[in-house]
Amino acid sequence: MTQVATTTDHFGARLARAVAERGPLCVGIDPHPGLLDAWGLTSDADGVERFARTVVEALAAQVAVLKPQSAFFERFGSRGIAVLERVIRDARAAGALVLNDVKRGDIGSTVDGYAAAYLDPASPLCGDAMTASPYLGFGSLAPLIATAREHGNGVFVLALTSNPEGPQVQHAVAADGRTVAQTILDSVADANAGYDPYGPVGVVVGATVGDTGHDLSRVGGPFLAPGLGAQGGTADDLRAVFGDARRAVLPSVSREVLRAGPGVSALRSAAARAADEFRTVLA
C-alpha cells in the first residue's frame, strides 16, 4: 500500500520550497582533475577539500541543491570520504538541500546498506536525496524508497540519460510493449501517489535526450536534468524535452558554474545567472 505523507517536511515539499526561495538550480560539486588543475589545486585529498569547501562557502546559502559527485571523493579513500561528510554537513547547515550523486543499485541486504548510508540521518553521509540505478528492476529499489519515506528524504532514479549508450537499455521494449524507460517512469508515478506537490521519487532525464516519445506527464515527482551548459544542453532544450512537465524540472549544472572559480564572488555570480536563465524558461 502506498504511504501518503502527512507532513510538509517530506522531500518533495522541501524541494519545492527551496526552488521557490532560491531558484531552480542544482550545482554539482565535481572536483575532477581538470577543474582542480584549473583552480590551481593539487589532485589529492587536500585539493579536493579546498575545492569542495570553496563551493559550499560560495553557494550553499544561495542555490536550492548542491550535488556532490561521490566518485571524486571516493578516489582518495577515507580522507576523501571525510571531506564528503563535511561537505554534506556544512551545505545542509547553510540551507542547501544535498543530493548525493552515488547512482547505487543492488539487491537485498546490500541495498539496505546503501539506504542506511545515504538516507538515514544516523549516517554521516546522509543528505536529502540520492541518485539510484533501477536496472536490477525497479522493485530492487524498494528499501531506498522506504527509507526515504521514513525520514522525509528522496531518491532520483535514472530513467532517460543523455549518454550515447543509454538508449540501448532504456529504449528497449519490454514484453508489454512499453520501453524500459517508460516502465520506470510509470513505476515512479505509482510510488509518488498521494504526495503534494511532489513525491519522494524523482527521475533523471537528460536535457539533451530530445523528443523520445516517452510520457513524462504523470511522474508526480521532480525531474533532475543534467547535460546542461558544458555538456551541450541549453535552457531552451528543457522546454523541448519536458514540455508541460517542465515546472517540475531541477536543472543541474557543474562545469558551467564551477569553471568560474576559485573566486567565491565569481561562483555566486555564475550560479545566479544560471538560475535566472532557467527560471525564465521553466515558469
Report yes or no on 41 lying in a domain: yes
Report yes or no on 23 lying in a domain: yes
Q: Is 67 one of the annotated active-site residues of the chain?
A: no
> Burial level of 127, CB count in 10 A (0-12/13-18/19+)?
buried
Selected catalytic residue, list 32, 53, 86, 103: 103
Report yes or no on 57 lying in a domain: yes
Give yes or no for a contact between 8 and 40, defined as CB atoms under 8 angstroms apart.
Answer: no
Q: What gap in Å lies between CA 179 and CA 177, rounded to an integer?
A: 7
Q: Which domain holds residue 277?
A: 11-282
> Burial level of 167, CB count in 10 A (0-12/13-18/19+)?
middle
- Range scoring the smallest mean pLDDT among 72-81, 175-184, 234-243: 234-243
Q: What average pLDDT does the segment 8-13 reach? A: 89
Report yes or no on 6 lying in a domain: no
Share of the chain above pLDDT 90, in %: 90
Q: What average pLDDT does the segment 143-150 reach? A: 98
pLDDT in tens, 194-213: 999 999 999 999 999 998 89
Summary count for the chain: helices (H), strands (E):
12, 8
Overall number of domains in the chain: 1
* pLDDT band for position 1 (cuts 50, 70, 90): very low
Instruction: Pull the grid cell for residue 73.
Output: 571523493
Look at 164 and 263; give whichever has higher pLDDT: 263
Report yes or no on 200 lying in a domain: yes
Q: What gap in Å lies between CA 169 and CA 160, rounded to an integer?
A: 10
Report yes or no on 87 lying in a domain: yes
Report yes or no on 144 lying in a domain: yes
Instruction: Pull the grid cell for residue 254.
Output: 557543474
Pairing of strands 249-253, 223-225: parallel
pLDDT of res. 6: 43
pLDDT in tens, 54-84: 999 999 999 999 999 999 999 999 999 999 9
Report yes or no on 186 lying in a domain: yes
Helix (H) or strand (E) holding 154: strand 154-160
Question: Which CATH number covers residue 39?
Answer: 3.20.20.70
Question: Which residues, 6+ apart, have CB-to-CB distance to 77 below 8 Å?
Answer: none
pLDDT in tens, 35-60: 999 999 999 999 999 999 999 999 99
